Amino acid sequence: MKLLTKKQSPSIPKEFQLFGKTIKVVFDQERCDADGSYGLALYAESKVLLSKRFDGKDIDPVKIETTFWHEVVHYILNDLRYKKLSEDEVFVSRFAMVLHQVLSSAKI
């Protein structure tokens, strides 16, 4: 699986549209640390939260990107009413990794 190299900076949008709703993307170290996670999908707030550090260490830019896509997959599945799939962290992670691979390797 070809992923972006560590030297490349993450390409994370500030916001995106999903089913006519604007989802803001915010780096929020405090809330991610409190949850013990790299990122969170906050449906009620229409936000994706991401972390730049975990356990006192910087997170690799590729991991930040895959975390972003992980949270987007949660959003998509939740909005499509596939609650059980959205709660399946293994499925969500694998889907996000494949999505990241497709988008990061696409030639336009």
Q: For residue range 67-105, what is the model confidence (pLDDT) as tens digits?
A: 999 999 999 999 999 999 999 999 999 999 999 999 988
For 51-72, what is the mean pLDDT? 95
Residue 73 lies in a domain: yes
What residue type is 6 in one-letter code?
K
pLDDT of residue 6: 44
- Domain holding 85, by residue range, is 15-105
Rounded to 5 degrees, what angle do the CA atoms 88, 92, 95 make? 140
Domain count, the chain: 1
CA distance 43 to 41: 6
- Show the DSSP H helices in the chain as ranges: 29-35, 61-79, 83-87, 89-105
Does 51 map to a domain?
yes
Whether 36 maps to a domain, the answer reads yes
Q: Is 96 inside any structural domain? A: yes
Percent helix, strand, coil in the chain, to 5, is 45, 20, 30
CA pair distance 17, 49, nearest whole angstrom: 16
The pLDDT value given to residue 47: 97
Q: Which two tokens stand for residue 26?
A: 């915010």
